[in-house]
C-alpha cells in the first residue's frame, strides 16, 4: 500500500519531532547525567511515533517515521551517532510488527509501546555481541556473577532484578502507547471539529 502525499507529510513531521526530541531532550539529559536516560528518550520518542502512526494507519508508517528520526539524529550535535540511530529504527520496527500482530486500537498501541521499550534493555547486548562477538556475553555473565557474589545475592534475586528492570521498561512503553492513543484520538476529534466549522 503506497503512501499518499498527506501520509508522507505526516511521516516527515512526526519523524522530525522524534528527531528533535532526541537532539534536544537527549542532549540535556546526557549533560545532566539523568539516570535511565535511554528509557526517558525511548518513551518520548515512541509516543511521538505512535501518534504519527495514528494519523497514518498504514503498514510501514512507524518504520518510516523511525528512519526519518534516525536520519535527523545523524545531523545532531556530535556528528554521526550510529548507536542511537540503530536504537530508534529498532524501536520503530518492534512497534510496527506489534501493531501488525495485535488488533488495531488502544490495546494495540499499548502493546506496541511496551514491545518497543524492551529494546533499550537488550540493545547493548545485541549491538556489542555483533561488534565484539559472542565472547562479550561471557564477560557480562562473569561480571553479573561477581556483582551477585559481592552483594551476597542469590541467583533468584538477580533474576528478579533483571525482570523488574525489563518490567519497568515495558510499563513505561505501555504508558507511552496509551498516551499516544489518547493524544491521537483527542487531536483527531479537534481536527474533525475544525473541518466541520
In the chain, where the domains are located: 5-196
pLDDT above 90 (res 103): no
What span, in angstroms and rounded, lies between the C-alpha atoms of 65 and 127?
22
What span, in angstroms and rounded, lies between the C-alpha atoms of 37 and 120?
10
What is the model's pLDDT at position 191?
75
Of all residues in the chain, the percent with pLDDT exceeding 90 is 52
What is the model's pLDDT at position 54?
94
pLDDT above 60 (res 2): yes
What is the model's pLDDT at position 194?
45
pLDDT above 70 (res 144): yes
* 64: CB partners within 8 A, 6+ apart: 3, 11, 15
What is the model's pLDDT at position 196?
40
What span, in angstroms and rounded, lies between the C-alpha atoms of 192 and 197?
9
* 45: CB partners within 8 A, 6+ apart: 18, 21, 22, 69, 88, 91
pLDDT in tens, 182-195: 999 999 888 765 44
What is the model's pLDDT at position 28?
84
The CA-based dihedral angle spanning residues 133, 69, 48, 126, taken in that order and rounded to the nearest 10 degrees:
0
What span, in angstroms and rounded, lies between the C-alpha atoms of 138 and 155?
16
More confident residue, 142 or 14: 14
pLDDT in tens, 16-31: 999 999 888 887 887 8
Over range 55-77, report the average pLDDT: 90
- When pLDDT is cut at 50, 70 and 90, the band that residue 1 belongs to is low
Q: Residue 115 phi/psi, 5° resolution?
A: -65, -40
What span, in angstroms and rounded, lies between the C-alpha atoms of 122 and 163?
12
Amino acid at each position: 500500500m503506497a503512501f499518499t502525499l498527506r501520509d508522507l507529510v505526516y511521516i516527515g513531521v512526526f519523524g522530525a519531532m522524534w528527531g528533535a526530541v532526541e537532539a534536544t531532550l537527549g542532549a540535556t539529559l546526557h549533560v545532566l547525567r539523568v539516570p535511565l536516560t535511554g528509557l526517558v528518550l525511548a518513551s518520548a520518542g515512541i509516543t511521538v511515533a505512535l501518534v504519527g502512526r495514528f494519523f497514518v494507519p498504514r503498514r510501514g508508517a512507524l518504520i518510516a517515521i523511525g528512519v526519518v528520526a534516525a536520519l535527523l539524529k545523524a545531523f545532531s550535535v556530535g556528528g554521526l551517532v550510529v548507536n542511537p540511530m540503530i536504537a530508534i529504527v529498532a524501536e520503530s520496527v518492534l512497534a510496527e510488527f506489534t501493531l501488525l500482530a495485535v488488533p488495531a486500537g488502544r490495546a494495540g498501541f499499548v502493546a506496541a509501546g511496551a514491545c518497543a521499550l524492551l529494546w533499550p534493555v537488550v540493545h547493548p547486548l545485541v549491538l556489542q555481541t555483533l561488534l565484539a562477538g559472542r565472547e562479550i556475553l561471557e564477560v557480562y555473565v562473569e561480571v553479573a556473577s561477581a556483582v551477585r557474589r559481592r552483594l551476597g545475592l542469590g541467583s533468584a534475586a538477580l533474576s528478579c532484578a533483571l525482570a523488574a528492570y525489563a518490567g519497568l521498561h515495558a510499563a513505561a512503553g505501555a504508558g507511552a502507547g496509551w498516551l499516544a492513543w489518547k493524544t491521537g484520538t483527542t487531536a483527531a476529534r479537534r481536527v474533525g471539529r475544525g473541518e466541520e466549522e
